Amino acid sequence: MSRLNPFAKLPGLNTASVLLVESEEHFQQSLAEALVEETSVTVNVRLAKSFPLPIENDESRPRIDLVVFIINLTSELSFQSAEASLKYLEPGYFLGKVCFMVTNARSSSVPAERLDAVRRLAASLHCPLLFAEEQTPQGVTNAAERLLTILKAAAGFVPFTTPLYLSNLTRCTLPPDIDQPSFD
């Protein structure tokens, strides 16, 4: 089983690479377009549907600084695919180089248990969990900005900060009463 290794390759000069993983490929494209507009560093965006990544692209793939799992809350498959993909990552990635991004969280057709499951997953891996609005252009820009902040830290562009340090501060935490039945 070939796994993605965070330190297998040398980093590119002044370049940060991010891998967006989304099984449905709805949000990837627009988010990628917003991400590459960053000017202070070269942002390299790679898209994938799920892990494992194809071996034939191994050579051309840069060192991935941040893996983002985009989970559409309205689809169970999206969550399952992300969960299944996690085992193809070296554990080194979980020291601050993975984050989860949830879309459609405001949709009324989303069962509350699914969001809880995503939170549980993110908390168990000590990864940050971001919420994004994919319908509006402003929501996409906001999501891209927040990702860039994490990406810059993950790629080592922020002095005196390391990805592990950042993830210790921003990791998802579970509310203590998550297992209790809610009354709404």
Partner 1 sequence: MAGEAASLEVEGPLSEAAQAELLELCEEQFAHLEKLQNELLLCEPHFSDSPQEQMQNRLMATEAELKKRQTEEPQLLAGNPDILLHAGKEEVLKLCSQLETVLSCCQAKRDKLRETKELEQKWLEEKTQVLKAAKNHVEQLQKEKEDISVHSMLQDIKEKIQKMKAYQETLMECLGDILEKHVPLPQMEAGPSRRKKSADSQISQELVSLSEILEVLMNKALQSPHDPYVIVDETFWPPYVEMLLRYGMAVRHQENSFKIRLGAFF
Catalog residues that contact partner 1 under the rule CB under 8 A: 7-8, 10-11, 13-14, 40-41, 87, 90-92, 94-95, 124, 126, 156-157, 159, 162, 164-165, 168
Residue with smaller CB distance to partner 1, 90 or 116 = 90
Which lies closer to partner 1 via its Cβ, residue 26 or residue 126?
126
Q: Which lies closer to partner 1 via its Cβ, residue 40 or residue 57?
A: 40
Cβ contacts of 116-120, under 8 Å, gap ≥ 24: 116/178, 117/79, 118/71, 118/73, 118/79, 119/172, 119/174, 119/178, 120/174, 120/178
Q: Is 24 left (phi over 0), alpha (psi -120 to 50) or beta?
A: alpha
Dihedral Cα 173, 177, 179, 184, nearest 10 deg: -110
- Which residue's CB is nearer to partner 1, number 111 or number 156? 156
Shortest separation between residue 118's beta carbon and partner 1, angstroms: 17
d(CA 147, CA 67): 10
Residue 42 pairs in a beta bridge with: 15
Choice between 73 and 155, CB closer to partner 1? 155
Please spell the DSSP secondary structure of 77-105, one letter per residue. HHHHHHHHHGGGB-GGGGTT-EEEEEE-T
Shortest Å distance, C-beta 47 to partner 1: 24
Q: CB of 85: closest distance to partner 1 in angstroms?
A: 14
The nearest distance, CB 105 to partner 1, in angstroms, is 25
Closest approach of Cβ 158 to partner 1, in Å?
A: 10
